[in-house]
Amino acid sequence: MNGNIFHKKMIQIGSYFLIFWMLLTMLIIGCKKDEEIVSTQEPVSNWIVQSSNITNNLKSVCFVNEFTGYAAGNSFPNDTNKIIKTTNGGLNWFRKQSVDSLSFNCIYFRDVNTGYAAGSKGKIIRTTNGGDSWSVLPTPVTDIINDIRFFDPQKGIASGYSGVILTTSNGGDTWQLISTQTQAGLYSISINSPGEAFVCGDGGLILYSNNYGASWVVQPAITIYSLKSISFVNANTGYSCGQHGTIIKTTNKGANWSALTTPTTTEFTSLFFTDDNTGFFTGDYGSIHKTKDGGNTFRKVSAVTVNYLRKVYFIDSSKGWVVGEYGTILSTINGGD
């Protein structure tokens, strides 16, 4: 009788141990699954850092083909070389001497030889030999110039602070000051169809011209925030972005603009679209946001820097560059995801 009781007790204890080990095993497996989820790594960014070998705050970048490009900016803290050039897609950048003690907000090349840079003191400079030498072009202003674009080899536009818009009809040899009826800072130009241009600026201001910049009209403002960049992807559809993560869009050539659902409150300073639907928005804290559906949704690209990013430029759907503070240059060769 005692033997039977002992046997039953042992079976009961064994059952308890079996249940205990089953519960412990399930707990361990559950913890491992949780650990796998928690430890999932951020996706690797397709943007890489290129060495500029300078400390300038780079504010503009422009490529004439997949190999040859230029970047420009202002001196900080004590670097006097403000224009740099690459001939191998940014693997190496080297300094180009400019003229005068200028700081630059924009650089623009019409072709492999002819380019323009502009910035402080109302100065615009031009090169006709791929940046080997530069000459100062006379302008009637001393206000800071923020952007410059050309319709064709002869007709071009520059915009700047205090409502300044300049036009040229002879390749930049001379520039004329155009009345805009505003004192707002004007930051960015988008050349649209032949003769048409848009300029954005402080207080949500957008100006439109259909006669190569000879006259301008104000389009309806839908934001109080300053707009820092503007770009049209076709004759009717355009985007502008700026302070407080503002992004606006038009599909009727600016007659009406609508605010898009912004992915951040971080300031956007630049945008670039590689096709009608695919675009990039860059700004403070190293932020890069990409849309693949015309601004309906955005995805934040994994950060590779915390520096302020000033300008984004793509030469095609795959190859692009972003420049910013402290000589920052980022590049992608596979679409910037």
Q: Check residue 303 and give its pLDDT.
A: 81
Residue 231 burial (CB count, 10 A):
21
| Structure token pair of residue 180 | 């805009």
pLDDT of residue 71 exceeding 60: yes
Q: For residue range 255-269, what is the model confidence (pLDDT) as tens digits?
A: 999 999 999 999 999
- CA angle 282–284–286, rounded 5-degree value: 70
Q: Check residue 77 and give its pLDDT.
A: 57
Rounded-to-integer distance, Cα 121 and Cα 103, Å = 9
Q: For residue range 276-319, what is the model confidence (pLDDT) as tens digits?
A: 999 999 999 999 999 999 999 999 997 899 999 999 999 999 99
Pseudo-torsion of CA 55, 59, 63, 64, nearest 10°?
-120
pLDDT of residue 44 exceeding 60: no
Pick the range with the lowest mean pLDDT from 2-6, 157-161, 211-215: 2-6
Q: Which residue has tokens 């036009």?
A: 167
Q: For residue range 97-137, what is the model confidence (pLDDT) as tens digits?
A: 887 678 899 999 999 999 999 999 999 999 999 999 999 99
Pseudo-torsion of CA 73, 76, 79, 84, nearest 10°?
-20
**DSSP helix, strand, coil percent of the chain (3-state; round to 5):** 15, 35, 45
Q: Check residue 78 and give its pLDDT.
A: 58
Residue 72 burial (CB count, 10 A):
31
Q: Check residue 12 and give its pLDDT.
A: 52
Rounded-to-integer distance, Cα 316 and Cα 66, Å = 8
Q: Check residue 306 and give its pLDDT.
A: 95
Q: Contact at 8 Å (CB) between 282 and 264?
A: no
Rounded-to-integer distance, Cα 103 and Cα 287, Å = 24
Pick the range with the lowest mean pLDDT from 28-32, 245-249, 280-284: 28-32
**CA neighbor of 114 nearest in space, from 126, 97, 101:** 126
Residue 306 burial (CB count, 10 A):
12
